[in-house]
Amino acid sequence: MTEVRLGEADVRARVAGLRAHQVVCPLVGVALLAESLLGGPARPLVGALGLALAVAAAPVAGGLTSAEVVAIAAGYLGRGHRHVVGGLVLDGDVLVWDGRAAAWALAGHELGHRGRLDLIGLDLEVARALAAAIDAASAGGDRVVTVHVTPAPSRRTLLATPPGSGAPEGWSAAPEALVEVLGLGEGPETVLYERPTHLRGVEGVARVYRVRDFSAVAPGAALLERALRCETPVQVTVRYEVVGARRGARLASRAAHRVDADDAVGRALGFRRSARHSRAMARLTQREVEVARGRSLVRVAVYLVVRAGDLDELDRRASSLWRHAHESGLRLEAGVGRQAPWYRAALPGAPSRGRGVGRPDTHWATTRDLVDLRVPAHDAGPGLAGDDVGRAVFGGPFALDPVDAYRAGLVTNPNVVVAGAIGAGKSTVVKMMAARALRRGRRVVVVDPKGEYADLARAHGVEPVVLGVDGWCDPVDAEDGRDLVRALLAGAQGSPLGDDQHYALDRVWSSVAPARPRRLLRALFEAVAPELGDERPTARRSLALSLHRLIEGDLAGLFDGAGPPLALDGPLVVVDLSAQWSSTSLPLAALSVVAAAQRVVGDATTTGYLVLDEAWALLGEPAALSWLRGSWKLARARGLAHLLVVHRFGDVRASGDLGTAQLERARGLLRECETAWLFRQPPDEAAEMRGALGLSALEERYLTSMARGTALVRYGPFRSIVRVTPDERDYAVIATDAAMARGA
């Protein structure tokens, strides 16, 4: 059976898709007009009445007929325009609303989550769990369940259910949170004054809209996916009037058979079935099948409430919402003359008037449709304290320290990858994260291949150190440095060590390392240096040649030199490798700094960051990559967060031939970075990133369309879209195009 989604609001179709009054009123009106033409004592009065009834069925606005407009106007004029919405009494875990018009009890729940649910499909899981809970509860008879999404700045997703019905997994009891839904008043009672187009309370004004038609929403999209994408703060209420299981089965079957009969009558009268009527019939048939399968029958209404301090602001916000909703495919009703009834219906768990059956302009559905109407949840972010680096789009301030995230159990390691096109905002967020870490007393070492972090260093009272000019780096430790020496030698000779070289190195290491010489690499070189005089190609001679490059050859000054080695133990150390930027020595120089920094940045009392810009330099070196993978566990144990910065995943792909073990190791290292800041990418790079990191199709689409300074942030299983917002202290250190700006 073809799935048919919710479309236009349901109406009580009778003959050829017409509502009862649209058939009866014209027939009676024509009869009265004929009576007036035939004569009689009250001919003018009968004729006027007949004419009024004849035009009563004509549509005039928003799908309403003249008769319905008159009924709404009469209802508005007949109501008192001062309404007490309700008082709040908390009795244990149950809220009791006690207003003059009605009293009802309900249980309140809040959806607990991190990040944005829709980015990885968790919104579907929430909708399915809610549908299952409603199906299970419908055996107890009719009930009302409401979902509320409050606007900024709180951005909370709330659920109101009848007492005792419980809530699905992921929703925690939070009865007091539903107070936010009242709005426009304080104290034990909320008093609102109704006007034709709005409501006024002691704290401002509000306007209520109802979604009339979902038909224009793009196929395959969630019906309410973009309901909160408007910049205007709007409260969304999804109201489910659940029909008891037994009565729901009767109603669904009766409705389907009635429409079949109406269709037969219409065809007998010569009417052609319209596309609208065909869709209505398909929905009814689908609904009957779903109810027979155990789904609950529900009547759905979606209300959007806009609040403001005064009428001018309300008009601006309402216009923005109306325009945004139309662009999103949602067709709204303005609710003129119905503001108070709609506001009351949008309250948590408000009971139905009567049994709620047969009322037009809402949507008959089943709990299967909750998947399409899935809860439009906000971006809850990581929920961590600290200085924020931006704001989650459709969320609040976003603070994400990788060490804090690891300690909170959000991620399995504190390592971070930052990727994005040039100018997208990578360096900005890295410098902001480093600055915030320094404020918290953490150490930061930056491996700076292009000399872009000098402003960050000077802003914190230090000068960058140029490797090979201001000092040399001693990365090798006598206890566990053998694997690092293997990586350095393999990089120096441009190929992995052979078995005979491994054996020779082990022999030399066992004779030199136990003495713990001050300069271990030089001591190793001096142990094999006599082999340089032997012309025979032995393993010890090949080791001597590689060590000669490091100690006395073209790489001299990087791994050994005059005076003590660089300490790398200050709060902030920026190691400038710009002299090696275009050289084949860059991977070895970067590897030595990373190894030396790992020994001092993280310790038992202090955590730290190790920033490796242009990380492809290490990812493209097989021996360095193998050593770096092995060092990840040590960094995690010490609370050391590696920040790997790459322009694009094409840099990683260039690190090894497609399908080779080298490429898979590079991808694996990036996957092991549990936190990722992913900035804008061209389409081909976004597809590569999706495969490398296991992103969803929606995440891939975001990567190709995000504005500069906006990132898709992955932290463990959670996702957020974050707009990076530097503060005044950040602007002094984040400019990476200063030279271009000066030349402008």
Three-state DSSP at 73 gives: helix
Q: What angle do CA 652, 657, 662 make, to 5 degrees?
A: 65
Q: What single-letter amino acid sits at 508?
A: V
How is residue 562 written in tokens?
A: 């005059």
Q: What is the pLDDT of residue 741?
A: 35
Residue pair 348/96 in contact (Cβ under 8 Å)? The answer is no
> pLDDT for 549-570, tens place per residue?
999 888 888 888 888 888 888 8
Average of per-residue pLDDT values in the chain:
80
Over residues 380-424, the pLDDT tens digits come to: 899 999 899 999 988 889 999 998 999 899 998 899 999 888 888
End-to-end CA distance of the chain: 64
Q: How far apart are CA 632 and CA 662, in angstroms?
A: 17
Above 80 in pLDDT, residue 541?
A: yes
CA distance 679 to 699: 11
Is the distance from CB of 718 to CB of 405 less than 8 angstroms? Answer: no
Residue 261's pLDDT band (boundaries 50, 70, 90)? low
Of 638, 567, 642, nearest to 603 by C-alpha is 638
Mean pLDDT, residues 688-716: 87
Residue 274 pLDDT exceeds 80:
no
What are 171-185's pLDDT values in tens digits?
A: 988 877 787 787 776
Domain residue spans of the chain: 13-73, 82-244+296-370, 246-287, 397-473+566-743, 479-564
Angle made by CA atoms 688, 700, 672, in degrees to the nearest 5: 60
Please give the pLDDT value at position 727: 87
Are the C-beta atoms of 513 and 478 separated by less than 8 Å?
Answer: yes
Residue 705, classed as helix, strand or coil, is helix
pLDDT at 71: 83
% the chain with pLDDT above 90: 19
Question: How many CB atoms are located within 10 Å of the residue 115 CB?
Answer: 27
- Statement: residue 288 has pLDDT above 90: no
Contact 550, 521 (CB under 8 A): yes
Q: What pLDDT was estimated at residue 267?
A: 59
More confident of the two residues 646 and 265 = 646
The predicted structure's pLDDT at residue 1: 43
> Per-residue confidence at 582, pLDDT binned at 50, 70, 90?
confident
737 has pLDDT over 50: no
Q: 706: which DSSP letter?
A: P
pLDDT tens figures, 299-318:
889 999 999 999 999 999 99
Beta carbons within 8 Å of 229's beta carbon, 6+ residues apart: 324, 328, 394
Comparison of pLDDT for 221 and 77, the residue scoring more: 77
Distance CA 81, CA 340 (A): 8
Coil, helix or strand at residue 524: helix
* Pairwise CA distance, residues 120 & 700, whole Å: 11
Q: What is the pLDDT of residue 306?
A: 94
pLDDT at 318: 94
Q: How far apart are CA 220 and CA 372, in angstroms?
A: 9
Report yes or no: 337 and 81 within 8 Å, Cβ to Cβ.
Answer: no
Kindly state the tokens that stand for 688. 């590569």
What is the average per-residue pLDDT within 79-95? 64
355 band by pLDDT with thresholds 50, 70 and 90: very low
Question: 574 vs 389, 502, 612, CA distance in Å?
Answer: 21, 34, 11
Measured CA to CA, the distance from residue 109 to residue 646 in angstroms comes to: 43
pLDDT in tens, 121-180: 888 889 999 988 888 888 777 888 889 988 877 788 999 888 877 788 889 888 777 877
Question: What top-level class would CATH report for the domain 397-473+566-743?
Answer: alpha beta
45 pLDDT above the threshold of 50: yes
